[in-house]
C-alpha cells in the first residue's frame, strides 16, 4: 500500500470527531479506506457511535455559511476537490450512506446533488433527494450523463477537464427532473437530455419558487436566477405571474433590486434620517429611530424582537399619515391599510410576510381585544404563532404573525401595545417650521434608498445577527428588548450611530419619566391616600370614595363613565397579591377593607421603578392616638399622661413609634425619650 491521504470529520465548531484514512495499492489499484477515532490516549480503527445518524462531512463549513448553496457529492475526496472552486460541499460518505446520515443541518437550504456517473450514483442521488425534500430543501440533481464523463466519473474527473471552473459554472450545469416533481409530464433519463427537458425543468423551477413563502423566495431568488441563467428581475416577473393567488388578490409586491455597489451603512442611515426631517416635522431622535426601524424591516430574518413603530400625536394634522406614507416608500414589502380585521391580519402576515402599515389605528383598535392580542403576539420571533381552525372540518392550523408593523393614530394606544413599541411622537408644526410635500420628492429618491437598504441587508445581515449591543441600563427590560435590534443595526453601521441610537432610545422610551400603567397609577393613588389621610386601614367603600374624589384621575369614570366599583378594585389589586379582609368597626360591625401593610411589598416592587428615588414614599405607621408625631431630629421628648391616653380609633392600627425600645429608649415618669 502507498499513502493516499485522510479526511477529518468535524463538529459545527471545527473540532475533530473522527478521520477516514485512504490508501491505494499501486500494483492492483485496490483502495483501502477505513475510519479512525480517538480512543483515550491513542487511536483505533472504527467510527464513534451516532444514534441519530453519522455527521455530514465538513460540518463547520455548513454551520459558517448557512445561506450558501450546498453541493452534495459522493465521498470526501470529491467534496475536497470542490473546495478549490469556492463551493460549499459536503457528503454523507459512500453511495449507500445517505440513509445512515444526520442531515438536520441541511433543513430549508438550497442543495445541488452531484452523483457519480453510474447506477450507484443515481441511487445515492434519489435517496439523498428524498430525504432533503422532506426537510423543505430546494433540491437540484446534476445530469452527469450530459457532462460526457466516463462510467463512474465524478466531480474530480470533471474538474480535470475544467480546471478554472467557478461556483457559477457548476450551478449552471444541466439538471434532471426529480421523480417527486409534479411540474413536468416528461421524464428525462440520465442517458438523454433534450431541449424539452430543459424547458420542463425551467417551468418546474418557476412553479416551485412560486409556491415558496415570500421570505424563503427572497433568500433563493438570486441564486436560482443565476442557476437558470436569467436576471433576478426576470425571475421575479415569471414567479409573480405563476402566483395566481396573489395576482387574483391584486397584491404583487415590487421586488427591490439591491444597490449594485457596496454601501456605507452609517451614511445610508444618515441620509434616511435627513429625508425624514425634510418631509416630517419631528425631533432629531425621532428621525434617527425611523431610520433604524426602517432598516430593521429588511432584516426580519435575523432579528429576534420586532418592536411596533407607533406614530402618535395629540391632534390631527401633525404628519402621522405623512410619516406612514414615507415608511411605505422605504420599508421591505409594505402593506398599507386604514383598517384591518384580526382574521385578515394573521392571514396576510402568514401568507405575504409584509411590513404592515396601519393608519387611523385609534379609531378601531381600542375595543378590539383580539386584534391587540395578535399584535402583542408578534413581538418576539419565538412567540409569534397563533392557532386557528380552518376549512369545513375545522382543522387546526398554526399561523405565523412574525413581522414588522407600524401603527398611526391620535393619542396613546393600549398599554400592552405601547409597552412593545418604539414611540414616534409628532407635533403640529409652527409657522416658522417647514416641511416639503412628499409628492415633490425628486424621481428615484426613495427607490434608491430602498435599493441601498436591500444591499445593506444583503451584505450585513450576518453582522446584525451576531451583534450584541450594550443596552442602556436605565431602560427597563421591555424597552431594552424593543431597542436591541435597532441598537444592533446602529452598532454594525458604526460611525456616530451607536451613540445616536442610544440617545434616541433614552429620549423616546421616556427613561427619565417612565410611563405608568393603570395598575401602577392605582398603587400610587392608594399610597398617596394613606399618606394624606394618615390612616393605616380603610374600608373598600371609603377607599373608592377617596380615589374618586379627584376628578382629573381615572377612577371616577373608570366603569364606563361611572365610578370604579368594588369588584373592579378587587380585580386590579388581586394581580399584586392584595386581597380585602374583614375589618372590625365599632361594636360588632364588620366590613371589607385593607391594612396599609398589605401594600408595602407592592409599593416597594412597582413604585420604586415608577418614581424617582428621591420621592419614593412608603406608608408610615402613625401614633394610634394621633397625639404625637415623628420629628426629624435624632431625639424628641413627648410629654403625655399615660392614664389619659385615648383608645386608638377604629381606622388606626396603633402607634407606629414604640414608647420603649430594649436598646435605646428610656422611660421616665410622665415622659418618654425616643431615639430614632
Residue 648 confidence (pLDDT): 46
Residue 306 has pLDDT above 70, yes or no: yes
Mean pLDDT over 560-589 rounds to: 87
pLDDT in tens, 162-192: 888 888 888 888 888 665 433 333 333 333 3
Hey, what's the torsion of the CAs at 657, 658, 659, 661, to 10 degrees? -130
Structure letter (DSSP) for residue 501: H
- Residue 362 belongs to a domain: yes
Which of 198, 222, 249 is where one domain is finished? 249
Residue 366 confidence (pLDDT): 66
Q: What percent of the chain has pLDDT over 90?
A: 31
pLDDT in tens, 519-556: 888 999 999 888 888 888 899 999 999 999 888 888 98
Grouping H, G, I as helix, E, B as strand and the rest as coil, residue 42 is strand
- Do β-strands 671-675 and 635-639 pair in parallel, antiparallel, or remain unpaired? antiparallel
- Residue 28 belongs to a domain: yes
Neighbours of 445 (CB within 10 A): 14
Residue 614 has pLDDT above 90, yes or no: no
User: 235 and 91 in one domain?
Assistant: yes
Binned at pLDDT 50, 70 and 90, residue 136 comes out as: confident
User: 602 and 652 in one domain?
Assistant: no
Q: Would you say 90 and 101 are in contact if contact means Cβ atoms under 8 Å apart?
A: no
Binned at pLDDT 50, 70 and 90, residue 643 comes out as: very low
User: Scanning the structure block, which residue is given the C-alpha cell 386604514?
Assistant: 338
User: 42 and 59 in one domain?
Assistant: no
Which of 508, 538, 568 is where one domain is finished? 508
Binned at pLDDT 50, 70 and 90, residue 279 comes out as: very high
Considering only CA atoms, which of 169, 187, 167 is closest in space to residue 177? 187
Mean pLDDT over 269-273 rounds to: 96
- Residue 257 belongs to a domain: no
Most confident of the ranges 246-250, 399-403, 601-605, 646-650: 399-403
Binned at pLDDT 50, 70 and 90, residue 20 comes out as: confident
Hey, what's the torsion of the CAs at 549, 555, 556, 561, to 10 degrees? 180
User: 226 and 77 in one domain?
Assistant: yes
Name the domain count of the chain: 5
Neighbours of 276 (CB within 10 A): 23
User: 222 and 211 in one domain?
Assistant: yes
Structure-model confidence comparison of residues 391 and 506, the more confident one: 506
- Residue 97 belongs to a domain: yes
Residue 318 confidence (pLDDT): 83
User: 452 and 431 in one domain?
Assistant: yes
Residue 665 confidence (pLDDT): 38
Residue 609 confidence (pLDDT): 52
- Compute CA distances 439 → 249, 270, 308, 326, 330, whole Å: 27, 22, 26, 10, 15
Residue 511 has pLDDT above 70, yes or no: no
Owning domain of residue 547: 518-615
Which of 586, 615, 644 is where one domain is finished? 615
Mean pLDDT over 563-568 rounds to: 92
Structure-model confidence comparison of residues 652 and 477, the more confident one: 477
581 forms beta bridges with: 593
pLDDT in tens, 310-342: 998 887 878 888 999 999 999 999 999 888 888
Considering only CA atoms, which of 77, 133, 141 is closest in space to residue 109? 133
Across the beta sheet with 581-585, the strand order is 537-539, 589-595, 581-585
- Compute CA distances 92 → 54, 78, 89, 112, 452, whole Å: 8, 12, 11, 14, 40
Residue 633 confidence (pLDDT): 39
Residue 308 confidence (pLDDT): 95
- Residue 321 belongs to a domain: yes
User: 422 and 488 in one domain?
Assistant: yes
- Do β-strands 666-668 and 16-24 pair in parallel, antiparallel, or remain unpaired? unpaired
User: 150 and 130 in one domain?
Assistant: yes
pLDDT in tens, 234-251: 888 788 777 654 444 445
Mean pLDDT over 364-379 rounds to: 81
User: 543 and 457 in one domain?
Assistant: no
585 forms beta bridges with: 589
User: 451 and 315 in one domain?
Assistant: yes
CATH number for the domain including 292? 3.40.50.300
Report residue 225 as a C-alpha cell. 436566477
Residue 467 has pLDDT above 70, yes or no: yes
User: 607 and 563 in one domain?
Assistant: yes
Residues 6+ apart with CB under 8 A from 584: 590, 650
Least confident span in 21-30, 124-133, 147-156, 234-243: 21-30
Query: What's the pTM value of the predicted model, to 2 decimals?
Result: 0.49
Core vs surface per residue 552-581: b (16+ CB within 10 A) or e: eeebbebeeeeebeeeebeebbeebebebe
Considering only CA atoms, which of 671, 581, 658, 591 is closest in space to residue 621? 658
User: Scanning the structure block, which residue is given the C-alpha cell 480535470?
Assistant: 160
Residue 44 has pLDDT above 60, yes or no: yes
CATH number for the domain including 135? 3.40.1360.10
| Alpha helices for 467-558 (secondary structure H) | 477-493, 497-508, 518-533, 540-547
| Alpha helices for 264-352 (secondary structure H) | 265-279, 284-297, 320-330, 342-352
Residue 302 confidence (pLDDT): 94
Residue 605 has pLDDT above 50, yes or no: yes
- Residue 624 belongs to a domain: no
- Residue 33 belongs to a domain: yes
Most confident of the ranges 56-70, 90-104, 182-196, 282-296: 282-296
pLDDT in tens, 449-464: 999 999 999 999 999 9
Report residue 589 as a C-alpha cell. 360591625
Residue 29 confidence (pLDDT): 62
User: 357 and 445 in one domain?
Assistant: yes
- Residue 498 belongs to a domain: yes
Residue 198 has pLDDT above 60, yes or no: no
Residue 646 has pLDDT above 70, yes or no: no
Residue 278 confidence (pLDDT): 94
Binned at pLDDT 50, 70 and 90, residue 32 comes out as: low
Residue 327 confidence (pLDDT): 95
Kindly report the average pLDDT of the chain as a whole number: 80
Residue 178 confidence (pLDDT): 65
Amino acid at each position: 500500500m502507498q499513502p493516499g491521504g485522510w479526511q477529518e470529520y468535524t463538529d459545527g465548531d471545527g473540532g475533530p470527531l473522527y478521520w477516514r484514512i485512504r490508501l491505494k495499492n499501486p500494483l492492483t489499484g485496490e483502495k483501502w479506506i477505513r475510519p479512525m477515532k480517538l480512543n483515550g490516549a491513542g487511536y483505533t480503527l472504527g467510527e464513534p457511535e451516532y444514534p441519530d445518524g453519522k455527521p455530514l462531512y465538513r460540518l463547520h463549513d455548513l454551520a459558517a455559511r448557512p445561506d450558501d448553496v450546498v453541493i452534495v457529492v459522493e465521498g470526501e475526496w470529491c467534496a475536497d476537490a470542490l473546495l478549490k472552486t469556492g463551493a460549499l460541499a459536503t457528503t454523507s460518505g459512500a453511495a449507500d450512506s445517505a440513509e445512515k446520515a444526520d442531515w438536520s443541518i441541511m433543513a430549508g437550504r438550497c442543495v445541488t446533488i452531484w452523483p457519480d456517473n453510474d447506477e450507484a450514483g443515481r441511487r445515492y442521488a434519489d435517496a439523498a433527494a428524498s430525504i432533503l425534500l422532506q426537510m423543505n430543501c430546494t433540491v437540484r440533481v446534476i445530469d452527469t450523463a450530459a457532462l460526457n464523463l466516463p462510467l463512474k466519473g465524478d466531480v474530480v474527473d470533471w474538474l480535470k477537464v475544467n480546471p478554472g471552473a467557478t461556483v457559477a459554472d457548476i450551478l449552471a450545469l444541466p439538471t434532471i427532473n426529480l421523480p417527486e416533481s409534479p411540474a413536468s409530464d416528461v421524464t428525462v433519463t440520465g442517458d438523454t437530455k433534450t431541449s424539452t427537458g430543459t424547458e420542463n425543468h425551467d417551468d418546474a423551477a418557476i412553479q416551485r419558487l412560486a409556491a415558496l413563502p415570500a421570505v424563503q423566495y427572497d433568500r433563493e431568488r438570486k441564486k436560482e436566477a443565476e442557476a437558470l441563467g436569467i436576471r433576478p428581475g426576470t425571475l421575479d416577473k415569471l414567479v409573480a405571474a405563476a402566483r395566481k393567488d396573489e395576482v387574483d388578490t391584486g397584491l404583487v409586491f415590487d421586488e427591490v433590486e439591491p444597490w449594485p455597489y457596496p454601501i456605507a451603512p452609517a451614511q445610508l442611515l444618515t441620509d434616511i434620517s435627513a429625508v425624514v426631517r425634510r418631509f416630517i416635522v419631528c425631533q432629531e431622535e425621532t428621525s434617527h429611530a425611523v431610520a433604524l426601524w426602517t432598516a430593521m424591516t429588511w432584516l426580519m430574518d435575523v432579528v429576534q424582537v420586532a418592536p411596533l413603530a407607533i406614530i402618535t400625536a395629540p391632534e390631527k394634522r401633525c404628519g402621522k399619515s405623512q410619516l406612514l406614507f414615507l415608511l411605505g416608500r422605504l420599508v421591505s414589502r409594505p402593506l398599507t391599510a386604514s383598517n384591518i380585521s384580526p382574521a385578515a391580519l394573521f392571514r396576510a402576515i402568514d401568507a405575504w410576510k409584509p411590513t404592515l402599515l396601519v393608519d387611523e389605528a385609534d379609531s378601531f383598535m381600542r375595543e378590539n381585544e383580539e386584534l391587540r392580542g395578535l399584535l402583542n403576539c408578534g413581538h418576539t420571533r419565538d412567540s409569534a404563532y397563533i392557532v386557528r381552525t380552518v376549512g369545513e372540518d375545522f382543522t387546526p392550523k398554526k399561523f405565523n404573525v412574525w413581522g414588522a408593523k407600524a401603527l398611526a393614530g391620535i393619542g396613546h394606544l393600549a398599554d400592552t401595545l405601547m409597552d412593545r413599541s418604539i414611540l414616534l411622537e409628532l407635533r403640529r408644526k409652527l409657522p416658522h417650521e417647514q416641511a416639503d410635500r412628499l409628492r415633490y420628492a425628486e424621481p428615484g429618491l426613495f427607490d434608491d434608498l430602498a435599493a441601498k437598504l436591500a444591499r445593506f441587508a444583503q451584505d450585513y445581515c450576518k453582522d446584525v445577527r451576531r451583534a450584541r449591543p450594550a443596552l442602556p441600563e436605565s431602560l427597563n427590560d421591555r424597552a431594552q428588548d424593543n431597542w436591541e435590534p435597532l441598537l444592533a443595526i446602529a452598532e454594525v453601521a458604526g460611525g456616530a450611530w451607536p451613540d445616536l441610537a442610544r440617545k434616541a432610545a433614552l429620549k423616546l422610551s421616556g427613561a427619565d419619566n417612565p410611563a405608568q400603567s393603570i395598575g401602577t397609577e392605582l398603587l400610587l393613588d392608594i399610597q398617596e391616600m394613606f399618606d394624606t389621610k394618615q390612616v393605616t386601614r380603610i374600608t373598600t367603600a371609603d377607599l373608592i370614595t377617596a380615589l374618586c374624589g379627584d376628578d382629573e384621575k381615572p377612577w371616577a369614570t373608570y366603569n364606563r363613565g361611572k365610578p370604579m366599583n368594588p369588584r373592579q378594585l378587587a380585580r386590579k389589586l388581586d394581580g399584586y397579591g392584595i386581597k380585602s379582609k374583614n375589618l372590625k368597626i365599632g361594636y360588632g360591625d364588620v366590613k371589607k377593607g385593607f391594612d396599609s401593610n398589605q401594600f408595602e411589598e407592592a409599593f416597594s416592587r412597582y413604585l420604586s421603578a415608577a418614581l424617582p428615588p428621591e420621592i419614593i414614599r412608603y406608608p408610615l405607621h402613625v401614633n394610634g392616638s394621633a397625639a404625637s408625631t415623628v420629628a426629624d431630629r435624632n431625639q424628641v421628648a413627648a410629654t403625655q399622661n399615660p392614664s389619659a391616653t385615648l383608645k386608638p380609633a377604629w381606622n388606626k392600627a396603633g402607634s407606629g413609634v414604640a414608647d420603649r425600645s430594649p436598646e435605646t429608649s428610656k422611660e421616665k415618669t410622665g415622659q418618654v425619650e425616643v431615639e430614632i
